[in-house]
Structure 1
Amino acid sequence: MPSAVVTAVDAVDARLREELLACWTDVTNAGGAVGFVPPVTPDDVAPVLDAVVGRVALGRERLVVLRVDGELGGFAVLSLSMSPLRRHWATVLRVQVHPRLQGRGLGRVLVSGVHEVARASGLEMLHLTVRGGSGLERFYARFGYREFGRMPGAIRLAPGDDREEIHLVARLGEPAS
């Protein structure tokens, strides 16, 4: 397996932004369920990425980056709650591994890294959603995520192609050994 490192990033420079943009575009165009319907161009993804980068700069989100042999291999976002009543949990967004690296166990490395970053940040619970029909809830179950609800028709891929949004939650305990 290649050398894989997961870290939290508090600031996004121009180079990292371009890497994130290329990754997100490529993941989407490979069929990844990360907020868009293919085909997309970097111009389609850039405004959404820039909004994430802005929230990272404000401390409202944490960017968790997967580097494989020193190159960006994927990323995820921890969206932090601003409510004083909910500061013990976050929502995980945009989990993705570049298509050229998929099938090597790096998704597991990334999600485990997200959990480590979350624990180090004092978080106790994580929430995420998956697109119905993707089967991703089985992947996340390996990390302790359990379904707690579905929103019928919440995601519209195309006219007449609406999907459920499946809500999952995990209570963070000690890291798996």
Structure 2
Amino acid sequence: MSRVPLPGRRAPPEATARRSLPHPGRAAQGGARGGSCSRRENRRMPHVEVTVSTRVDDDLRACLLDLWTDVTNAGGAVGFVAPVTRDVVAPVLDGLVERVHGGTQALCVLRVDGEPAGFAVLSTSVSPLRRHWATVLRVQVHPSRQGQGLGRVLMAGVHDAARARGLEFLHLTVRGGYGLEGFYERLGYEVFGRMPGAIRVAPGDDRDEVLLLCRL
């Protein structure tokens, strides 16, 4: 699996939610001083933030394309079934970028030390009766960054962006059989329905689509 070629640019001066990573193995208090203390001081915590992008330039598009492809090929349930190539993902990504530029969707980009490491999409309703609702789509963190609590950081940034837009409810769906419901339930979501067999992963392998909502 190829790594995401990251442009290494800093986040744009847009709406930003800064979140801190959990410390990886902090030493217990009361231990030996001296060398161990200096080692702790030399370990720099990475800077983590979620930025809300309303424009996607070529560099960011390339990062998102590689990220989405790598997540899918690592087994992520983000709209495709592995294996996929960038040529397969590109048209779907370009449709997303068009909607971001059109203002109907907002792109929440997770950055670690300024480099994209994940993203999610906040899709608002065009109906005047549902301006207080939005749908969260394509939540993903690059495989090389998983297991570090960054999924929670990303979703916290999505929630901050939603509140800043005056939204009151968020809705999302997950593919059944992956155990993703528990992750979102720990973030305050609740399951309110299922669409049996709505997702056909392969012939003879139909998965439920699980519906969840969160009151902000």
TM-score greater than 0.5 by the shorter chain? yes
Aligned-pair distance for 1:104?
A: 0.3
TM-score calculated relative to the size of structure 1 = 0.96
* Correspondence for 1:92: 136
* Correspondence for 2:27: none
Aligned-pair distance for 1:69?
A: 1.2
Corresponding residue SS for 1:117: helix
Gaps spanning 5+ residues in structure 1: where? 173-177
Q: Give the whole-Å Cα distance in 2 for the aligned partners of 1:96 and 1:66.
A: 9
Q: Give the whole-Å Cα distance in 2 for the aligned partners of 1:126 and 1:46.
A: 27
Match of 1:120 among 152, 157, 164: 164
Matched ranges for 1:70-149 at <5 A? 70-149=114-193
Aligned pair count reads 172
* Correspondence for 2:79: 35
Aligned pair 1:44/2:84, yes or no?
no
Corresponding residue SS for 2:128: coil
Aligned-pair distance for 1:120?
A: 0.5
Gaps spanning 5+ residues in structure 2: where? 1-20, 22-45
Corresponding residue SS for 1:96: strand
Q: CA RMSD in A?
A: 0.6
Aligned-pair distance for 1:60?
A: 0.6
Higher Cα Rg: structure 1 or 2?
Answer: 2
* Correspondence for 2:6: none
Q: Give the whole-Å Cα distance in 1 for the aligned partners of 2:130 and 2:50.
A: 25
Deviations 1:23-58 (A, max 9, x none): 000000000000000000100000000000000011
Q: Give the whole-Å Cα distance in 1 for the aligned partners of 2:47 and 2:144.
A: 15
Q: Could you say which structure has the higher strand fraction?
A: 1
Give the percent of matched residue pairs that are identical in Structure 1 and Structure 2: 70
Deviations 1:115-173 (A, max 9, x none): 0000001111000000001111100011110001000010010000000000000000x
* Correspondence for 1:59: 103
